[in-house]
Amino acid sequence: MPYFDTASSAPLHPVARQALQASLDEGWADPARLYREGRRAGLLLDAAREAAAEAVGCRPDELVFTPSGTYAVHSGMSGVLSGRRRVGGHVAVSAVEHSSVLHAASAHAAATGGTVTEVPVDRYGAVAPDTYAGVLREDTALACLQSANHEVGTEQPVAAVAEACRSRGVPLLVDAAQSLGWGPVGGAWSVLAASAHKWGGPAGVGLLAVRKGVRFAPQGPADERESGRAPGFQNIPAIVAAAASLRAVRAEAADEAARLRALVDRIRSRVPELVPDVEVVGDPELRLPHLVTFSCLYVDGEALLHELDRADFSVSSGSSCTSSTLTPSHVLRAMGVLSEGNVRVSLPLGTPEAEVDRFLEVLPGVVSGVRERLGAPASPAGRRAEGPSVTAAPVPADGSSLVVDALGRRCPIPVIELAKVFDEVPVGGTVTVLADDEAARLDIPAWCGMRGQEYLGERPADHGVAYVVRRVS
Amino acid sequence: MPYFDTASSAPLHPVARQALQASLDEGWADPARLYREGRRAGLLLDAAREAAAEAVGCRPDELVFTPSGTYAVHSGMSGVLSGRRRVGGHVAVSAVEHSSVLHAASAHAAATGGTVTEVPVDRYGAVAPDTYAGVLREDTALACLQSANHEVGTEQPVAAVAEACRSRGVPLLVDAAQSLGWGPVGGAWSVLAASAHKWGGPAGVGLLAVRKGVRFAPQGPADERESGRAPGFQNIPAIVAAAASLRAVRAEAADEAARLRALVDRIRSRVPELVPDVEVVGDPELRLPHLVTFSCLYVDGEALLHELDRADFSVSSGSSCTSSTLTPSHVLRAMGVLSEGNVRVSLPLGTPEAEVDRFLEVLPGVVSGVRERLGAPASPAGRRAEGPSVTAAPVPADGSSLVVDALGRRCPIPVIELAKVFDEVPVGGTVTVLADDEAARLDIPAWCGMRGQEYLGERPADHGVAYVVRRVS
């Protein structure tokens, strides 16, 4: 039963389980109390804080435990924004941050009238340090940048952005949720947030490190625990398990990174060979070792995940067709890449090579099965084998055009309908797709890029949007 | 090693431990995911929600899991206050609520300019329903009342206050942290908060129930989990353990309540017999079954707790002399009772009778040892045995007075100094105590009440405060 979604949540590491069970007897009392049960709990908490701080690369008194990574991000952002209120209300974030960062930035803007700048990313999903530096302003209270992207695995240039922030006196908050198990975050960051269940620790534990000297005003009702930065009774057994497992995964990180990197390289190279019309996204080199994302034309993401689940593979997707919100992943949108049939594979520690090979065996049949049921057109390669290439058609007079009505149809149908009729217009002619699924805005241009056709743009239509494509070959 | 501080945190219940361990393998994945690991986690979460809702007495879709009881209180209060912003910004709380409620009310006032009314309590620590009803106003957005007090165990008239609130259209939030393990909270409450580690569940789990129809606007950044009322990845193994242990403690609640009630009655009656100059506080009848609080004149709370810890008993205290804040418990202050030498005993489920008896054996020697080291005066009973009663002294002409300078001395020294010199003034004369320890404001009047002397009041002095006592016998 291969589980390939460790970026959502990792199975509990054996060391985490042992530490959790061992500390249930010693860690349940209130560490603020003076009696022996309280002192014992306090000692466990202190030791866990020291271990976690060492792994993060900060002082123990700079680190607090929060109930989740999300809480660490929210508390870290609101604390800096409030502490630096006099500087201004401007926040810079990359366009591909985790939703917890983006939502906290929106909440700040809504509550205080502050402004948010999203720094764009390249096609691999990375910000450019110069671009990031360019959005920092006199009134920038906070900059946020993830250490590595949670959907496509691309590493961000944190050290360079941190230096740009430092030289302008702007604190940088790094969301290290996806990378902290692999190693400390370098560079002169000011605030760091992470989440234990991403590295194999238990749920219920986040880390928030705030460097000395950063102006920080905890928000919300006063509370004495965790320096006022995370109110409520600490979950010490889970904290102990989090710290112990972070140490344990770090001890195996170098070897395991090399091994998983090779397995991910195999997926990156083999999937496009085995499955037609696939786009592998994210940086091929500067990336998390264990994570790879690809998108499949003419595929319904929900059906694909369902079929992979039936074939015993658990993966996730940034496709809108698997999400209740019906909007494709903001990460894929910011990168400008195909979103339909999107699959994220993130390998847990210890993933056997044979499971990856089995995934590569299973995937082509699963994708073609989903495509068949959707009535997707055959790939160009397939069609070439069946008859003369459509690119051999003579260039006709301009002006031929077709309109496809895909209103009310969900992704990937608009793109499938486009592909089905595309051969019917002559080279130089256009196909206009009427669609009201948000994914079409991303996937029709992406289809043009993959097919070498020309995307002419979109315009509002009576219902939905009209997307126009010119046939150039 | 008797642990008598279950009101701070209960040892993990065996059922909680079993449920936690059993669900570590099934409950680590993201319950929002469609694959089997996610579905399994989701099923565990659903089942826990149903079990917890049944124990609370609400619908499963009215209940969310939060990372702590504190978080449940904060989120519940801010959600109602924001949802009812148009009604007004007034909050009513009892004067003896848990600090999480009082701090959330203060934060609301500071952030929005809202106002807070503290409803006074009687000498047992209970609000009167009529008094509570009298503070509700046109602009009251929220009323808060604990089900039972966490320091003295007194039960509050929740059903009557809930009815008063209902008739005025004001939602009532009940902090049920101390009582939920003993039974559901009756009455037409609107919002309920609780904390699993108080009933023997694991840390890291709070409950927040919000009745349908209550206007509720979750605050903070948007998040899809737990109806937006508790952002962050759920800790499902801990949630499962919380729900399972709540069921388990409820199954034994009736028997165990009767048994512990008898043990607490024994403490309530025996302590004043065994230890001179003790005040047992809180309602003797309308109270939590397992909790009793008493205060000892002329005793330093920190020394007392330390000696009890050396004698293997873990208890807590609301004395200022054990707290970093140097202010005595706001609960004892609101009740107007003695705070010095304060001890709260809260018995865990299954406490053996022999442990309570042993506590009663040990306590007198511990208290007298602390008093001796502080140079405290002997008790009136003791003195009566030694010679003629001071109350037999002839009434002198008025005007005799003495001043005791206890500036810079911490509790219980000001009261000890008062007692030491008291016999030196004639009946009708006064003793003025100069003190700057906050506890004196509570403990000097309390001493007068216990000794049958007349407290004339306080006035500002050059340094600190002058407290004036008239000898009447």
Cα–Cα dist B468/B455, whole Å:
6
The Cα-based distances of B161 to A370, A418, B95, B210 in angstroms read 60, 65, 14, 17
Q: Which of A333-342, A344-353, B349-358 has the lowest mean pLDDT?
A: A333-342
Kindly report, residue by residue over A48-58, the tens digit of the pLDDT: 999 999 999 99
Query: Would B8 be classed as within a structural domain?
Result: no
What is the tens place of the pLDDT at every residue in A252-295?
Answer: 999 999 999 999 999 999 999 999 999 999 999 999 999 999 99
Chain A nearest-CA distance from B82, in A, is 12
Mutation target among A4, A13, A28 for the B interface, most CBs of B within 10 A:
A28
CA-based nearest residue in chain A for residue B230: A71
Averaged pLDDT, B246-266: 98
pLDDT exceeds cutoff 50 at B166 = yes
Q: Are both B268 and B237 inside the same structural domain?
A: no
Q: Closest partner residue to B74 among A38, A202, A231, by Cβ?
A: A231
A304 with A296: CB under 8 angstroms? yes
- Give the residue among B347, B57, B98, B318 at the shortest CA–CA distance from B180: B57
CA distance A191 to A174: 6
Within 8 A of B234 by CB-CB distance, chain A residues are 203
Average pLDDT (A165-171) is 97
A contact test, residue of B18, B33, B306 with most A CBs within 10 A: B33
Q: Indicate if A412 and A462 belong to the same structural domain.
A: yes
List the domain range (segments joined by +) for residue A80: 14-249
Q: Do A35 and B314 touch (CB under 8 A)?
A: yes
Least reliable range by pLDDT among A92-96, B223-227, B293-297: B223-227
Nearest Cβ partner for B3 among A37, A197, A223: A37
Q: Are B67 and B203 in contact (CB under 8 A)?
A: no
CB contact under 8 A, A104 and B235: no
Asked whether the predicted pLDDT for residue B331 surpasses 90, the reply is yes
Residue A85 pLDDT level (bands cut at 50, 70, 90): very high
A5 located within any domain: no
Q: State percent of chain B over pLDDT 90.
A: 89
| Out of A3, A232, A237, closest to residue B71 by CB | A232
Please check whether residues A365 and A394 belong to one and the same domain: no
Tokens found for residue B231: 């952002």
- Could you tell me where the beta strands, DSSP code E, fall in B304-436? 342-346, 401-406, 430-435
Token pair 């847990």 is found at A348
Cross-chain residue pair A104–B3, CB shorter than 8 Å: no
Do B271 and B216 lie in a common domain?
A: no
**Could you tell me the two tokens for A199?**
């590295």
CA dihedral B421, B423, B425, B427 (to 10 degrees): 150
The pLDDT-based confidence of B388 (bands split at 50, 70, 90) is very low
Q: Distance (Å) from the C-alpha of residue B286 to the closest C-alpha of chain A?
A: 27
Q: Is residue A7 part of a domain?
A: no
Answer whether residue B73 is part of any domain.
yes
Quote the DSSP letter at residue B5.
B
Confidence check: pLDDT of B398 > 70: no
pLDDT tens column, B257-300: 999 999 999 999 999 999 999 999 999 999 999 999 999 999 99
Q: What local confidence, expressed as pLDDT, does residue B133 receive?
A: 98
Domain boundary among A249, A280, A305: A249
The pLDDT mean for chain B works out to 93
Predicted local distance difference test score (pLDDT) of residue A49: 98
Residue A398 has a pLDDT of: 53
Per-residue pLDDT tens over the stretch A309-320: 999 999 999 887
Which residues are registered as beta bridge partners of B192? B174, B209
Q: Indicate whether B379 belongs to any domain.
A: no
The conformation of residue A11, written as its DSSP 8-state character, comes to P
The answer to whether residues B81 and B170 touch, using CB atoms and an 8 Å cutoff, is: no
Is B381 inside a domain boundary? no
Residue A319 has what pLDDT? 82
Using only C-alpha atoms, chain A has a radius of gyration, in whole angstroms, of 25
CATH number at residue A311: 3.90.1150.10
Q: Do A34 and B233 touch (CB under 8 A)?
A: no
Q: Does B270 reside within a domain?
A: yes
Q: Least CB-CB distance to A28: which of B11, B28, B107? A: B11
| pLDDT: which is higher, B318 or A404 | A404
Q: Which chain A residues are within 8 Å of B231, Cβ to Cβ?
A: 68, 70-71, 74, 100
**B159 and B225 share one domain:** yes
Closest-approach residue (CA) in chain A for B12: A28
**Residues A29, B37: C-beta atoms closer than 8 Å:** no
Q: Do A203 and B17 touch (CB under 8 A)?
A: no
- List chain A residues with CB under 8 Å of B68: 67, 231-233
Q: Are the beta carbons of A233 and B195 separated by less than 8 Å?
A: yes
Q: What is the pLDDT of residue A395?
A: 41
B233, B251, B269: which is the final residue of a domain? B251
Q: What average pLDDT does range B24-43 have in this prediction?
A: 94
Residue where a domain terminates, one of B344, B374, B404: B374
**Do B108 and B81 meet the contact criterion of CB atoms below 8 Å apart?**
yes
In sequence order, the 6+-apart residues with CB closer than 8 A to the CB of A190 are A80, A165, A171, A172, A173, A210, A211, A214
* Residue B382 banded pLDDT, cuts 50, 70, 90: very low
pLDDT of residue A383: 41
Sheet architecture: strand order including B291-296: B278-281, B291-296, B342-346
**Residue of B144, B165, B321, B448 with catalytic role:** B321
The reply to whether A30 and A161 lie within a common domain is yes
**Residues of A taking part in catalysis:** 321
Same domain for A419 and A356: no
Domains in chain B, number = 3
The reply to whether the predicted model has a pTM over 0.90 is: yes
> Does residue B31 sit in the same domain as residue B71?
yes
- pLDDT on residue B399: 60
Q: Do A28 and A145 fall within a single domain?
A: yes
pLDDT for residue B383: 42
Per CB-CB distance under 8 Å, the chain B contacts of A199 are: none
Considering the domain architecture, whether residues A197 and A175 belong to the same structural domain is answered as yes
Statement to judge: residues B43 and B86 lie in one domain: yes
In a domain? residue A9: no
Which of B24, B236, B316 minimises the CB distance to A17?
B24
The model's pLDDT over B178-220, given as tens digits with 9 standing for 90+, comes to: 999 999 999 999 999 999 999 999 999 999 999 999 999 999 9
* Sheet strands side by side (includes B90-94): B63-66, B206-210, B191-195, B172-175, B140-146, B90-94, B115-119
Same domain for B45 and B189, yes or no, is yes
Tell me the average pLDDT across B409-428: 93
> At B314, is the secondary structure helix, strand, or coil?
strand
- A379: distance to nearest CA of chain B, Å? 29
- Composition of chain B by helix, strand, coil, percent to 5: 40, 20, 40
Contact at 8 Å (CB) between A406 and A440? yes
- Pick B344 or A396 by higher pLDDT: B344
Residues 6 or more apart whose CB falls under 8 angstroms from that of A5 comprise: A314, A315, A316, A344, A346, B29, B30, B33, B35, B37
Residue A399: band (very low, low, confident or very high) from pLDDT cuts 50, 70, 90:
low
Q: What is the CATH number of the domain that holds B213?
A: 3.40.640.10
CATH number of residue A444's parent domain? 3.30.110.40
pLDDT of residue A380: 66
Q: Are A415 and A444 in contact (CB under 8 A)?
A: yes
Give me the percent of chain A exceeding a pLDDT of 90: 88
Interchain pair B70, A223: CB under 8 A? yes
pLDDT score, position B392: 35
Q: Which of A6-15, A222-231, B49-58, B396-405 has the lowest mean pLDDT?
A: B396-405
Q: Do A135 and A166 form a contact (C-beta atoms < 8 A)? A: no
Judge whether residue A390 has pLDDT over 50. Answer: no
Torsion angle of alpha carbons A63, A66, A71, A74, nearest 10°?
A: -30
Of B106, B204, B221, which has the smallest distance from its Cβ to A204's Cβ? B204
Whether A465 has a pLDDT exceeding 60, the answer reads: yes
Counting one residue from A and one from B, how many pairs have CB atoms under 8 Å apart?
193
